Amino acid sequence: ELKVEQNPLFLSMQEGKNYTIYCNYSTTSDRLYWYRQDPGKSLESLFVLLSNGAVKQEGRLMASLDTKARLSTLHITAAVHDLSATYFCAVDKTGNQFYFGTGTSLTVIP
Amino acid sequence: DADVTQTPRNRITKTGKRIMLECSQTKGHDRMYWYRQDPGLGLRLIYYSFDVKDINKGEISDGYSVSRQAQAKFSLSLESAIPNQTALYFCATSDIWDTQYFGPGTRLTVL
């Protein structure tokens, strides 16, 4: 069974600070996805990482993938309140099934 | 208009009742999925379909069934609902890069 672990599960950070969310997975996969979910809302795609060493950036968020270490990171730079949400990573097994992490609930404090 | 729609958005039902959740999409994608979300467990895949004639079980398919009526429609049924099926249910479609586009969700409560 493929396991996807995120840490931390809960993160409270001050505006302007930097932090990294980690996503580890238990089996070989070349594709990893990051999603954002606002409270009471659906999930929205943030990044698609399709190969080892892939790095994507959008605004204050940057995601990277190391398939050898089975690790993806989501780095937050100079956090702002609007980034408060739950962030999920997901791994694609054999191009058929997606396994999601348990999510990281981020709260940015003024 | 939303690309992926789900009906109903909220539903309260009783143990033993049959219930159907419906999903429609206008994105033209062949691949569709049903997930459930429980607090602290993330999303778990129930069923997925790559076209009208292709239906596959996901991680947690027991107690659920699906129907792919057309490329744009994918329904999830609970034949005899039980309380531990209380959850938030999401339908999703995916593009050629497997990026998933989620519907707004259906909050189901089984009493």
Using CB atoms within 10 A of its CB, is residue B51 exposed (0-12), middle (13-18) or buried (19+)?
exposed
Among A4, A88, A102, beta carbon nearest to B40:
A102
Whether the predicted pLDDT of A1 surpasses 80: no
Contact B42 A102 (CB under 8 A): yes
- Report which of residues B40 and A11 the model is more confident about: A11
Q: Please judge whether A97 and B58 are an interchain contact, meaning their C-beta atoms are less than 8 angstroms apart.
A: yes
pLDDT tens for A3-44 read 999 999 999 999 999 999 999 999 887 789 999 999 889 999
Distances (CA, A) of B21 to A17, A78, B77, B83: 42, 41, 6, 16
Average pLDDT for A76-105: 90
Q: Which residue in chain B has the smallest CA separation from A99? A: B44
DSSP string, A23-91: EEESS--S-EEEEEE-TTS-EEEEEEE-STT-EEEETTEEEEEETTTTEEEEEE-S--GGG-EEEEEEE
* From A5-9, A44-48, A90-94, the region with the lowest mean pLDDT: A90-94
Instruction: Summarize pLDDT for B78-111 with one digit per residue, the tens.
Output: 999 999 999 999 999 998 777 899 999 999 999 9
